Amino acid sequence: MSLIHSAGIQSLKEGLSKLKERFDGVQGEPYIVESKKFKALYFDSESTQSLMDMQAPIRLVVSYTETMMGFLLFHPDPQSIAMIGLGGGSIAKYCHHHLPKASILVLENNPKVIALKDQFHVPENSNQFRVLEADGAAYLRNTEEKFDVLLVDGYTKLGQAAQLCSEDFYASCLACLNPHGVLVINFSGAAGLNQVYQERIDRVFDHPSVLVVEDDRMNQILFVGKDSSLETPSEDLLRRSAVLARTHDIHLARTTQNFLAQRKIDAH
């Protein structure tokens, strides 16, 4: 989920808003609006759940999704990825395409969102890629599966679901990660609440988290590891970013700089 406020995307959002005014007032139902260049998923006129470039369906359009892919700095070749929240499947599609060795599980509790996945070119279920209708918190609490990367981007019209920001949920995340696993969460909303959530995470994990504020100021992306991988020296992360940029066109250099700047602030 993202509130889109960058200059280029803002003009796009205004154009799409004119197209979708007739949909406003729908009771939290997901709906799709198309322009000539983009297809967008909405729950209401205030927030864009997902945005797809019609000419390049795999490309990540919204900046926060690129930042979430910053997990590549710590896990460049993950074998197992779990995601809570499908939306239009932007990150799921990107990972499926660019990380073909990874087994990908997407948990989405809204069947009406899942019903729209074909319109966003989300891959069909297979041995390597699964979209399941499930409550993400309940699934993690009860599963014995382990993941290298866990991505949480679960929102409703009213904001982040309560079951995805409790201390019990964060404990389930920790239990589901492999020894070198990384958890990445998209926070969108009140900074004060995000700080509360971060404090809960820091109580559960043995290693400090890093909360990166997006350039649009509307999203904050939290990174936390099961081990000390997030404490990798700056020079090594910059070097990894340069190597990854050869195969990933997702502004990893920007993400790395923002991550390092926030980590330095947190260290003080």
Please give the Cα distance from 148 to 180 (Å, whole number). 7
Residues 128, 189 within the same domain? yes
Read off the pLDDT of residues 21-66 as tens digits, 9 standing for 90 and up: 544 445 567 888 888 899 988 876 556 678 898 999 999 998 999 9
In a domain, residue 29? The reply is yes
Per the CB < 8 A criterion, the answer to whether 253 and 70 are in contact is no
In a domain, residue 217? The reply is yes
Residues 19, 125 within the same domain? no
Residue 85 buriedness (CB in 10 A; 0-12 / 13-18 / 19+): buried
Per the CB < 8 A criterion, the answer to whether 151 and 68 are in contact is yes
In a domain, residue 157? The reply is yes
In a domain, residue 1? The reply is no
Instruction: Quickly list DSSP for 157-178.
Output: TTEE-GGGSSHHHHHHHHHHEE
Residues 94, 186 within the same domain? yes
Residues 48, 90 within the same domain? no
Residues 22, 132 within the same domain? no
Residues 139, 72 within the same domain? yes
**Catalytic residue ranges:** 153
In a domain, residue 241? The reply is yes
The partner residues of 47 in beta bridges, in order of sequence, read 44
In a domain, residue 194? The reply is yes
Top-confidence residue, 126 or 191: 126
Instruction: Give the range of the structural domain holding residue 172, as residue numbers without chain letter.
Output: 63-267
Read off the pLDDT of residues 150-166 as tens digits, 9 standing for 90 and up: 999 987 555 677 889 99
Write b or e for each residue in 150-159: b if 16 or more Cβ atoms lie within 10 A of its Cβ, otherwise e.
Answer: bbbbbbebee
In a domain, residue 58? The reply is no
Asked if pLDDT for residue 137 goes beyond 50, the answer is yes
Total domains, the chain: 2
Read off the pLDDT of residues 219-265 as tens digits, 9 standing for 90 and up: 899 999 999 999 999 999 999 999 999 999 999 999 999 999 999 88
The partner residues of 50 in beta bridges, in order of sequence, read 41
Distances (CA, A) of 194 to 42, 57, 62, 185: 23, 31, 20, 10
Per the CB < 8 A criterion, the answer to whether 154 and 85 are in contact is yes
Per the CB < 8 A criterion, the answer to whether 181 and 147 are in contact is yes
Residues 121, 40 within the same domain? no
Residues 39, 81 within the same domain? no
Residues 70, 43 within the same domain? no
Residues 43, 115 within the same domain? no
Helix (H) / strand (E) element for 260: namely helix 252-267
Please give the Cα distance from 110 to 117 (Å, whole number). 12
Residues 153, 211 within the same domain? yes
Q: Give me the CATH number covering residue 117.
A: 3.40.50.150
Instruction: Walk across the sheet containing 80-84 and list its strands.
Output: 129-133, 103-108, 80-84, 147-152, 177-188, 219-225, 210-213
In a domain, residue 69? The reply is yes
